[in-house]
Each structure stands twice: as C-alpha cells, then as structure tokens.
Amino acid sequence: MVNEKMCTGVEQEMIRLNPSKIDEVCKRTGCKPMDFTGKIMKGYVFVDADVLETKKELNYWIQLALDFN
C-alpha cells in the first residue's frame, strides 16, 4: 500500500499502474492484464515471478507502480 492505495501484490505478482500504460507494458515478456475474476481489471497487470528475479526488472515494475500511486 502507498498513500492508502494498492500498489503491488506478492500473491500473484500484481502491479497497479497508470491505465494508459497497460498496452505498452503488456508488450514486455511475462506481463499480462490482470484477469482476477473473469474480467480485466483496468490499471492492473500480472507479471511472471521469473521476470522479477533481477534487481533491475523488479525496480522497473515497482517504479511504475510508485509513479502512479
């Protein structure tokens, strides 16, 4: 949580980001729109855990979330 808003999740590697960036980031390996309940959730993506193994990649995704929040 950042500023009382969901920022990231560790259960399924969820990232909350600016909805206008969804198309751009979903082109990256291991990223897909968040479909948690059978419906795409605007402003959220899932990122495969193996993509987050390097500090550089983890920082990229965390920064996207922080920039929006």
What is the rounded distance in angstroms from the CA atom of residue 56 to the CA atom of residue 37?
A: 30
> For residue 33, what are the domain limits?
8-68
Q: What confidence tens digit (pLDDT) does each residue in 17-53 have?
A: 999 999 999 999 999 999 878 899 899 999 999 999 9
The reported pLDDT for the residue numbered 1 is 79
State the Cα–Cα distance between residues 45 and 68, nearest whole angstrom: 13
Q: How many domains are contained in the chain? A: 1
- Say if 3 falls within a structural domain: no
What is the widest separation between alpha-carbon atoms in the chain? 31
Residue 2 lies in a domain: no
On whether residue 1 sits in a domain, the answer given is no
This prediction has a pTM of 0.84
- Dihedral sign for Cα atoms in the order 55, 57, 59, 61: negative
SS3 25: helix
